[in-house]
Structure 1
């Protein structure tokens, strides 16, 4: 995979200079400047312009005539003073538009009188040579119009200027006035924006909380639009009509929960990259290194294979550090007899992988280590078998089954002094799974009690963490084990997307034995 990526990069070098693609004229990769990365039909790597159009149509089909959608982008977040974090686009906005710049928004209005059933207005930052001198290119109004317009629509419609063309780009600064002038006539406005806290997102589905959702929307607009005063924000708030503002998230997440063929391919590739990086990390980790160095090696291998960023702060826990489910300090030196618990993943073109593996640093399981590891692995493999639409089960069912199976496995290896609650409160305190996709914990409105469907992607991640206690066999003390894979739910059979990461005892020992260089 790495060699193929580098080969494509080298082969495309002459074409890049011939096409004078540098310096960039747009705020994100496009086919004409990044031919090594995407085809002419793709709006973003792996996803075609047509697929983005179909996403919007499916969303509009959930609306009533006259309803509209307001979805805003992410904003650049600052680490300290003027030092910023790497920008990542707001997920719902990314899913609907593919536009990768901050301080942007899209308004979609259902309109059955036009061929594609809706009108779409895209708000972007205009070109600004002075700013671009420092920060690099923006796509701008003309670029956004040219690149992000659906290919089956052409020309202008004879409609009031306020709606412009079916897809028209406007400066972000005009968004507040646009909302004020247009949304008062809409029956229901579905809004999504990154400044609404996660707890509020889950709460706003009720009618009584629509006020807080609308207020949060206006707070976002007031802070996102430069020079926008509070009085204008209050005016927009009064214009929206609070009862008719509802959360957009559940509607979009309903679409995101079932992955398209293109999305499945991207997630398989993300899983392959992370899986191969895990294989390398097993051969790389050794006594004397620090946990941070193993994390850095993993990130390096993912990046060289094409990943843009890590999916999350990795857990690289040696020895007893593995007892903490979300240990991310990664500061300690690795000892020869440690077990290494590593939970890491990467993001590829907006889609995430999430893997956990546990292995002996010295390359050979002791008998207690192998017994506990095999118990967890057996549970994981049985739970993966349940991940089909044909089985008709939910995440809650799979979790209950994982608890039952782990209890059975632990009794077989000597856990016969456990008290009521020890299994789920101490030894296995976390849930078996979460949806996975453009976000690590994808589609938060996904109902754990609903039956799994073909196209869902979930993690399966049982674990066991043995704290020093007289109730647990002493030879297992201070060992933490977790095994996690990403699973595509199929009609009749699941597909493990992260199969390159070794997990059988013999495979792990073989990979560890083949030490890789520093």
Structure 2
């Protein structure tokens, strides 16, 4: 791992929260992600399943976490299984977790080698009535690949058909949505790394550069600051490309007079940041570009103020839509007839602003977190309105990450990243 070791106290707290919500006499199991093949002997870089990381800090393949708060043997109430290492593995793959290191990272005293899992698990299942399965129920998920978790669930149902089944996901949605102070610090670090990348770009972008060159500059800055790289696939979209919401080919040349939309951010210690900034390729906004930019910025600022404890997710987005409608009217993109005759299921403003304004962010860029209950303090959200005008060859989106406070306006983790027109123009001066 590139990042500095996280205190085990975070993972101890997270496990306590999870176990406090488990049914009596129940076991929960969490598996690492697979290493996914490309072809021949090639594989994708390993990415740990965020749930086992959240609960244990184990950032290694072939790890299993078992939680059984009511186990007869107190030593078996928290168990972490890790891959047994040897001299051959050390030479070819590098250092793996020892039992001692696994305890230091996770705060779990009982560590077994993975080869012992079946025996220990069977013994504990004879005491348990319920098994918690960790299914993926994220509202955006569309996974087709069978995961290590899927295989475990399939095999467990065959071996233990008499046990009741419960879901880990509702608990995780609730507890992962509200961040601990240590998590917010890690996200702040990710945002600080992102800031360094963005400031590097302001001195680099000019007419004639290619989108992929900008991507390379960012990756350089992120990795040199102990990030693995991008928190998500980067969007570097100049000119008309900005009107493609998930434009990721990043293969066009930036032209004089165009705007450049960059939805790019660093991860740190598996925690995400999520930034969007839109800047003029030549360093100067035209009057029209400035007007649209300022409208987006006003919507972002007003939307941010609404992210307070008690806010309803659906009502929040409706209100942001009303603010955006007002801005689009002032820009001449909508007229009163458009609004009066709009389809209530697809309001008029959606022609120019078709996506949501905010999402939870944390270990996942689109993080777990409840959406059908009121917002709480220490939830972290993006705020990312945009206006997309294909006929003007322009798309503008602005995005920050903010922490809901117990009282007052949210705390902006990206407050130091340039956002005002004058500051951007000043920093982009040749």
> TM-score by structure 1 length?
0.75
Once the two structures are superposed, the pairs formed by residues 447-458 of structure 1 within 5 Å of their partners are 447-458=370-381
| Residue 264 (str. 1) matches residue 195 (str. 2) | no
Q: CA deviation at 1:217?
A: 7.0
Answer yes or no: is 1:415 the counterpart of 2:357. Answer: no
1:430 aligns with 2:355: yes
2:229 — aligned with what? 309
Distance 1:142 1:416, change over 3 A: closer
CA 1:201–1:245: 2 relative to 1, 3 Å:
farther
2:317 is the counterpart of 1:393 = no
- CA distance 1:312–1:147, change in 2 (3 Å): closer
Structure-to-structure mapping, 1:107-122, within 5 angstroms: 107-111=66-70, 119-122=77-80
**Which whole-Å CA distance do the structure 2 matches of 1:352 and 1:58 have between them?**
22
Instruction: Please give the alpha-carbon distance, in whole angstroms, between the structure 2 residues aligned to 1:393 and 1:54.
Output: 26
- Residue aligning to 2:151: 220
Pair 422,398 (structure 1): closer, same or farther in 2 beyond 3 Å: closer
Q: Secondary structure at the match of 2:206?
A: coil
Tell me which moved more, 133-142 or 452-461: 133-142
5+ residue gaps, structure 2, are: none
**Runs of at least 5 residues in structure 1 that lack an aligned partner in the other structure:** 1-27, 30-36, 39-43, 151-166, 204-214, 223-232, 469-476
Change (3 A) 1:370 1:143: closer
Report how far residue 145 of structure 1 moved.
Answer: 4.9
1:481 aligns with 2:396: yes
The residue correspondences of 1:8-407 to structure 2 (distance < 5 A) are 38=4, 44-45=5-6, 48-111=7-70, 119-141=77-99, 143-145=101-103, 148-150=106-108, 167-192=109-134, 220-221=151-152, 236-241=156-161, 244-389=164-309, 392-407=310-325
In the alignment, is the contact (CA less than 8 A) between 2:324 and 2:349 conserved in 1? no
TM-score scaled by length of structure 2: 0.90
Give the distance between the partners of 1:437 and 1:244, measured in 2 at CA. 31
Assess if the C-alpha contact under 8 Å between 1:176 and 1:221 holds in 2.
no
Deviation digits for residues 407-446 of structure 1, max 9, x if unmatched? 1011112224446246344211101111000111000xx3
Q: Is the 8 A contact 2:11 2:107 kept in 1?
A: no
Stretch deviating more after TM superposition (414-423 or 482-491): 414-423
CA contact (8 A) 2:278 2:396 kept: yes
Rg: which structure is higher? 1
The CA distance in 2 between the partners of 1:484 and 1:75, in whole Å, is 32
Cα distance between partner residues in 2 of 1:384 and 1:358: 18
* Root mean square deviation of aligned Cα: 2.7
- Corresponding residue of 1:208: none
**Structure 2 CA distance, aligned partners of 1:399 and 1:270?**
27
- Once residues 291 and 201 of structure 1 are traced to their aligned partners in structure 2, the CA distance between those partners, rounded to angstroms, is 29
| Distance in structure 1 (CA, Å) of the matches to 2:15 and 2:242 | 43
**Which of these residues, 364, 370, 374, is aligned with residue 439 of structure 1?**
364
**How many Å apart are 1:482 and its aligned residue?**
0.5
Deviations 1:285-343, CA, capped at 9 Å, x for gaps: 11111101111111211222222221011100000000011111100011011100000
Distance 2:95 2:124 in 1: 31
Looking at structure 1, the residues matched to 347 and 393 of structure 2 have their Cα atoms a distance apart, in angstroms, of 15
Contact 2:317 2:356 in 1 (8 A): yes
Which residue is equivalent to 1:471? Answer: none
Most deviating of 414-423 and 70-79: 414-423
Q: Distance in 2 between matches of 1:96 and 1:456?
A: 18
Q: Secondary structure at the match of 2:96?
A: coil
Deviation at 1:99, TM superposition (A): 1.0
Q: What is the CA-CA distance between 1:199 and the residue it aligns to? A: 7.0
Counterpart in the other structure of 1:473: none
Cα deviation, residue 486, structure 1: 0.2
SS in 2 for 1:309: coil
Distance across 2 between alignment mates of 1:270 and 1:511: 22
* Secondary structure at 2:29 match in 1: strand
Alignment check: 8 A CA contact 1:323 1:480 kept: yes
